[in-house]
Amino acid sequence: MARASSPAFSEPRLISTTDDLATTLTRLRAEPYLTIDTEFMRERTYWPELCLVQIGGVQEVVLIDTMADGLDLAPLAELMADASVLKVFHAARQDLEIFLHLFDALPTPLFDTQVAAMVAGYGDQVGYDSLVGSITGHAIDKSHRFTDWSVRPLSAAQLTYAAGDVTWLRRVYEQLMKKLEQEKRLDWVSAEMAVLTDPSTFRADPEKQWERLRARTTNRRMLGILRAVAALREREAQRVNVPRQRLLKDESLLEIAATAPTTQDALARVRGVSRGLAEGRTGQGLLDAVAQAQALPDAELPRLPKNRSKDAPRASAALMALLKVLLTSCCEEHDVAPKLVASMEDLEALALDPSAPNPALSGWRKAVFGDAALALCKGEIALGVKGDKVDILTR
């Protein structure tokens, strides 16, 4: 593929004052869409530390130094809430989490080119550099991908790198829109954007954190303690703004749930729990959480999800294999990413009970894969090989 010429933008401009930010964003809000990206740090904090916001317009790119002294981000909040301006991101989830935390609202309306690329057949969760290369032929500079964006001053090379994340995104967005319009798949993208417009997507529920720990037990009392201490850790991590694993590792929570300590000494004997933590506010919170879980009546204790229980039915491995082949074949035919159409959990649920509600059996997914999957489960079709492709045979 021929290398594309660089978009016709002026040099990126760094904004560090509130007046400049307000004036610039007022001008940019007159445009129908803007490309947006962020640079942030999260290694040492629970909440992302926003360091830079990049915004690309028709003829200019601005870089907002969110760490500049005295900078008021209110004009940026107004832009994010302006329904007349489409906000285009790539792989938007972390960016959206940042804006939701800052402004208590998600940007609206929005468009995620990673989701759109999956609908348009560019593969599962395609990266920005790969997508830019596929669509424009331009090779993205990766040299500053792991730079520390919190250090000031930012170098000219860093600013150029950051600007590239929104300049080429305009080309990507425009080409994707053309393809999606031609293939009449804009409705597919709109359906997938729904999850990104729901604030609950980005707000961790402390009471559900225990589920991600994959406890290997059916003891409901232990699960109740695990739920309580995992929720306590989540709230404490948010309060002191440190990563949950840095505050207390998953393995320590599992041991606390198994041993149910009642004293500071017993808590300090748990691997990964320091004496200082056991004797401090977090330690007391953990002991209180254990005590409260121990006092719960049996009816209020959690259960493992059915699909993780030792007694849960298991889908036929052979049928699962056939469904995977069918999924790949259908997605090749429609040029769409398989991961977007059905997850392994969707396939297992389908194999166990084709009549149960299933994301793969609704909306556009039903036409692409769901109808054929139901027919396969009912024995109405078979799979064969024709040339170099899988062939669906009517029985």
In a domain, 273, yes or no: yes
Instruction: Name the average pLDDT for the chain.
Output: 93
pLDDT in tens, 209-242: 999 998 989 999 999 999 999 999 999 999 999 9
Whole-number pLDDT of residue 176: 97
Which of 201, 231, 254 is the last residue before a domain boundary?
Answer: 201
257 and 346 belong to one structural domain: no
194 and 216 belong to one structural domain: no
In a domain, 35, yes or no: yes
* Structural domain count of the chain: 3
Which range has the worst mean pLDDT, 87-96, 192-201, 220-229?
A: 192-201
For residue 269, the Cα-to-chain-centroid distance in whole angstroms is 36
| Whether residue 2 has pLDDT greater than 80 | no
- Residues 203 and 39: beta-carbon distance below 8 Å: no
Whole-number pLDDT of residue 82: 98
Which of 270, 305, 340 is the last residue before a domain boundary?
Answer: 305
Whole-number pLDDT of residue 162: 94
Which of 201, 221, 246 is the last residue before a domain boundary?
Answer: 201
Domain that holds residue 153: 13-201
Whole-number pLDDT of residue 4: 44
Exposed / middle / buried, residue 51 (Cβ in 10 Å: 0-12, 13-18, 19+): buried
Which range has the worst mean pLDDT, 141-155, 254-268, 281-295, 361-375?
A: 141-155
Which range has the worst mean pLDDT, 7-16, 21-30, 171-180, 242-251?
A: 7-16
In a domain, 358, yes or no: yes
Whole-number pLDDT of residue 1: 36
| Whether residue 9 has pLDDT greater than 90 | no
Which range has the worst mean pLDDT, 107-116, 303-312, 376-385?
A: 303-312
Whole-number pLDDT of residue 310: 60
The identity of residue 25, as a single letter, is L
296 and 321 belong to one structural domain: no
Under DSSP, is residue 384 helix (H, G, I), strand (E, B) or coil?
Answer: strand
| Whether residue 256 has pLDDT greater than 90 | yes
323 and 291 belong to one structural domain: no
In a domain, 216, yes or no: yes
Looking at the chain, how many residues does it have?
395
Closest CA to 375 of 322, 314, 303: 322
Q: Write down the pTM of the prediction.
A: 0.88
| Whether residue 385 has pLDDT greater than 50 | yes
Whole-number pLDDT of residue 304: 85
Whole-number pLDDT of residue 312: 65
Residues whose CB is less than 8 angstroms from the CB of residue 379 and which lie 6 or more positions away in sequence, other chains included: 395
Residues whose CB is less than 8 angstroms from the CB of residue 358 and which lie 6 or more positions away in sequence, other chains included: 346, 349, 350, 370
| Whether residue 3 has pLDDT greater than 50 | no
pLDDT in tens, 56-75: 999 999 999 999 999 999 99
pLDDT in tens, 113-168: 999 999 999 988 889 999 999 999 988 877 787 899 999 999 999 999 999 999 99
CATH number for the domain that contains residue 258:
1.10.150.80
103 and 225 belong to one structural domain: no
Q: Percent of the chain having pLDDT more than 90? A: 86
Whole-number pLDDT of residue 5: 46
Which range has the worst mean pLDDT, 118-122, 183-187, 229-233, 308-312?
A: 308-312
CA distances from 104 to 39, 53, 196, 279 (A): 19, 17, 14, 35
102 and 220 belong to one structural domain: no
Residues whose CB is less than 8 angstroms from the CB of residue 123 and which lie 6 or more positions away in sequence, other chains included: 117, 130, 337
